[in-house]
Chain A
């Protein structure tokens, strides 16, 4: 079986936070307790959208010690392939859903003398759980959170009222910007920086910190890539001896699963490496979008991460 263990849950609360973001709360159907987790963990939510089964990862933002309920926040993506739209439009309180056990690809380094959190937009969610964890453990942390505007500042009020000294908010529409160089300069030895947000922000923080001589091990980031739509293409699966079509609005991984071929996965966002698949033959170009493979592996034409990457060309044969 692929993916993490599953939990049958019921949707117990839906709270719209602003124009774009809605919070969903899940409790176990059997009335029991949910597993605890570590701050930064995500769950993969299964959505039955007509004939399509969507599996989208969302960071758990509730208190990791609270075993009665999990909460996630979903930002509506009007341009995306429909997962977030399905959550916003179709999911109702009382619905039964399946989610995965927590999986953490963005955990705290508990050796850190200080945790410096940098969030952009919906990237705030993993930090909400990490902050609750560190508050329990007496950890040293500081948050710098950039939002588009006050009206789109999810959880700003909660953070600034509970943690006024640790929380720093920046609104794009008021031309407020994180002064990164100044912020990085003077942090005590043993500080770890964590960034979650849009790709541009992640790259900016990683490059700036590395440029200032921060060790690679002290820079942590998480970006879940939603699979992007693209031109349809054909793939031959050599092991199962099938030729399949990948549609415009589905990922290669989803197409493989649709055909009943079991393929390993965990994060479905190009980060964990589980779905790495060997390319046997190809004529054409890969559209690699994952964070897992190294640049030389992307260039080699020998591997693909089917959760987020696509292909344009004549033939593609995979070892699956």
Chain B
């Protein structure tokens, strides 16, 4: 199966769109009709065919456009990609993991040819064909982490493990839900999560850290996280918040269906072999309310989740002011019928909207 890559933008005219296939495979993050933090980790070893869980690093129709957007962000602000000096080996680990995974999982799009330390990497969608020496920084145009993450969707945090903690010591962060790598680099797990409300008190981070410290080679894990974004803007950075924040005020009852997007992060965790670091890819998927409502189960459930979410969380996720308008819209798609458990849309078995 060859992917048809969209010609689209994540800024200015916002021509981003999801095909019918992309909507169907959207990682809807709510497995029940309510939401609260939990350490919702599971093994990352494939999933249903064509779901975002199937491959180690999902490549979809937005790949080429997302990489163009990343290049623009980095041209404006190179501080979005940083690696502390001791993290270079982990960068090579990550380069190897992504190249091996993508060439095995998408042989029609990516090729990796290895002859000892002489490596040739072919990325057909981006028109790249590079030969370099593995572990020799001088043979790549960027550092290893930057080189490969300019070719991989989603943000990447590379975490050093020491003193029973994880340290945000390297990363490529251009599609973030309003946090700054440049500010947070060097922080430990509790510190970079410090601004998150409620979860510390519930002991979520203590349990999550314990789980993550014990992730072993060959046994990656994953979870979903979510927030809300007005317009399909990938780069919701604090750096540019004074520019994009105003967009939140442009929602109207007429445009909310197309403008308001559910933003879902597929977070995965891999132990890196040579450095013993942990890589934490955060892959962002966007879907407009209007497109989500094509799955009746998702329509019913999203209304109930947003309606019942604690004020602290709606505030932290940045949509407390828009919540009433969201609920006006979403309530049209909730007929009160029960929903099936799990995140999948169950289009064949869930009843259509009864009103």
Contact = CB atoms under 8 A, between A and B. Distances in A.
Given A37-B273, A64-B274, A136-B135, A5 B89 contact: no
Given A4-B216, A5-B218, A110 B163 contact: no
Interface residues of A, number: 26
Interface string B144-163: 00000000000000001111
B214 A36 contact: no
A102 B274 CA distance: 10
Interface string A96-123: 0000011110010111000000000000
Contacts of A273: 210, 214
B218 A110 contact: no
Contact of B273 (A36, A136, A137): A36
Interface string A4-23: 11000000000000000000
A261 B148 CA distance: 43
A102 B271 CA distance: 11
Contacts of A37: 217, 273-274
A107 B218 contact: no
A264 to B, nearest CB: 9
A38 B214 contact: no
A35 interface: yes
Contact of A4 (B85, B135, B210, B217): B217
B276 interface: yes
A38 B275 contact: yes
Interface in A112-161: 133, 136-137
Contacts of B124: none
A293 interface: no
A38 B163 contact: no
Contact of A272 (B87, B214, B275): B214
Interface in A41-59: 41
Contacts of A41: 276
B86 A4 contact: no
Contacts of B128: none
Nearest to A108: B276
Q: Is the interface of B mostly helix, strand, loop or mixed?
A: loop
Contacts of B217: 4-5, 35, 37, 101-103
A36 B274 contact: yes
Given A4-B216, A110-B89, A266-B214, A217 B273 contact: no
A228 interface: no
Q: Is the interface of A mostly helix, strand, loop or mixed?
A: loop
B162 A217 contact: yes
B219 A38 contact: no
Contacts of A245: none
Contact of B218 (A35, A64, A109): A35
Given A36-B273, A64-B274, A110-B89, A103 B216 contact: yes
A274 B276 contact: no
Contacts of A136: 135
B86 A5 contact: no
A44 B233 CA distance: 47
Interface in B31-89: 84-87, 89
A273 B160 CA distance: 19
Given A107-B161, A110-B89, A137-B89, A101 B216 contact: yes
A92 to B, nearest CB: 28
B258 to A, nearest CB: 45
B85 to A, nearest CB: 8
Contacts of B273: 35-38, 102
Contacts of A217: 162-163
B221 to A, nearest CB: 13
Given A35-B218, A137-B89, A109 B274 contact: no
Interface string B206-224: 0000100010111100000
Contacts of B216: 4-5, 101, 103, 266
Nearest to B135: A136
Nearest to A36: B273
A101 B86 contact: no
Contacts of A103: 216-217
Nearest to A106: B276
A104 B213 CA distance: 11
A274 B84 CA distance: 30
A217 B217 CA distance: 24
B276 A38 contact: yes
B161 A38 contact: no
Contact of A5 (B219, B274, B276): B219
A194 to B, nearest CB: 13
A28 B210 CA distance: 31
A42 B216 CA distance: 12
Interface string B273-285: 1111000000000
4 smallest beta-carbon distances between A and B, as pairs: A110-B86, A5-B218, A38-B276, A107-B276
Interface of B: 84-87, 89, 135, 160-163, 210, 214, 216-219, 273-276
Given A103-B216, A107-B276, 13 more contacts: A4-B216, A4-B217, A5-B216, A5-B218, A35-B217, A36-B273, A37-B273, A40-B276, A101-B217, A101-B218, A110-B86, A266-B214, A274-B214
9 contacts: A40-B276, A101-B218, A103-B216, A103-B217, A104-B276, A107-B161, A109-B162, A217-B162, A273-B210
